[in-house]
Amino acid sequence: MRKFGFIVHPLSYDDVERYDPGAVGKGRPIIKKILEWIPPYRVSDITGVRSAATGEEITGHFIGVPIMPESWLELPRADIMARLVGAAELAKELGCGILGLGGFSSVVGDGGVTLAETVSGIAITTGNSYTIAAGIQSLFRAARELEIDEANASAVVIGATGSIGSACAQILGNRVARVTLAARNATRLKNLAHAMQPHVSAALDWTIDVREAVRKADLVLTATSAVSAIVEPEDLKAGAVISEVSLPHDVSRRVATERPDVLVSEGGNILVPGDVNFNFDFGLPPRTALACMSETMILTLENKFVNYSLGRGIHLDKVLEIERLADKHGFKLAGMRAFDKAVSAEQVAHTREAARRARAAAATNGAAVAAAVQPDQTAHAR
């Protein structure tokens, strides 16, 4: 039976305490340091993943590299690479033909390229191709729910210079009217916009001012490596929709309580075919996995043990291919979720009505402001 591995790590100290009650009450600096001492290990065995097309079943393992998000960014690259190599060697020992890089393990360094060159006998993927496909699917599902006309919509991609963000921007660029590229590095943004414009129908612009970009956007897609929220409720346009492709969350939890007219969706949650048991609680409903995890499973079902989504550039043909293979084997978007909770059809309906009211109010206020600044035509007539 074919097998896959996938790297997992805690996203917050709450995760650590949920998995290990013994950590409760210990200081965070101590927890962080203890985690950095722990070598890669087998977290759980995954069973029951079954192709809807062939009926074949595969198994897998979650491989733990238990360091916090900030540690992935702070530790020397050599230390991070040693952990990744250890995880890949362990996956090989367990009989896995491919290893998926979850969380920040796909963000640091060169996106798995050096790891693939260093460790032989096992394929590597970041899972980014299916993450992109699922994030776009999720964004437009939310747009349909809030009655947004995508052909005339304005979109912003936050984290646009990253591998996921740039690919999402290119796809959006041929489906909406306007796309704003947002990230921290002005030079990279300018170069990206210049390279993209000949290949997309949308009008492109770019900015390092995320708040300003978000205020104008009907559609927001976030794909950053930030460790704290960067989208706040006061910055969002009336009736906007957001697809969060990245974890930890880029969108402030205040949006849930302060913006009833905005629909937020976690962009990468996938319903896995079969009687799946992950034997590990990573906070999602039964049979539900992240898209990056799912890409690893899809490639295993397809017997495609090759280095797939690697490096900083993403090939759009791979995004289309993995989307087709996902459909073939029975992987599909899971139910909508936001801020780690399910979003019901009733909640979506309430958000839709709130969005209608918010847009109407914004249009009225805009008309009033426009009228107030018009010159007094009567005075000119006199």
pLDDT in tens, 244-271: 987 667 888 999 999 999 999 988 899 9
Determine the angle formed by the axes of helices 128-145 and 316-329, rounding to 10 degrees: 80
pLDDT at 165: 92
> Which pLDDT tens digit goes with each residue over 272-288?
999 999 999 888 899 99
pLDDT at 23: 74
CA-wise closest residue to 170 among 306, 296, 318: 318
pTM attached to this predicted model: 0.88
pLDDT band at 172 (very low <50, low <70, confident <90, very high): very high
Dist CA 85 CA 311 (whole Å): 16
- Find all residues with CB under 8 Å of 349, minimum gap 6, and list them: none
Structural domains of the chain, ranges and CATH numbers in brackets? 3-129+269-333 (no CATH), 134-268+337-365 (3.40.50.720)
Q: CB neighbours (10 Å) of residue 31?
A: 18
pLDDT at 382: 35
pLDDT at 367: 58
pLDDT at 248: 67
CB 47 within 8 A of CB 280: no
Structure tokens at 289: 């996995």
Question: Taking 70 as the threshold, does the pLDDT of residue 376 lie above it?
Answer: no
- Quote the percentage of the chain above a pLDDT of 70: 94
Structure tokens at 366: 């805009």
Question: Taking 50 as the threshold, does the pLDDT of residue 372 lie above it?
Answer: no
pLDDT at 143: 97
> Which pLDDT tens digit goes with each residue over 89-128?
999 999 999 999 998 898 887 889 999 999 999 999 999 9
pLDDT band at 377 (very low <50, low <70, confident <90, very high): very low
Q: What is the mean pLDDT of residues 329-357?
A: 95
Q: What is the mean pLDDT of residues 50-61?
A: 98
Alpha helices in 261-315 (DSSP H): 291-301
> Which pLDDT tens digit goes with each residue over 176-233?
999 999 999 999 999 999 999 999 999 999 999 999 999 999 999 998 876 677 889 9
Cis peptide before 40 (omega within 30 of 0): no
Q: Residue 289 forms beta bridges with which residues?
A: 270
Question: Taking 50 as the threshold, does the pLDDT of residue 381 lie above it?
Answer: no
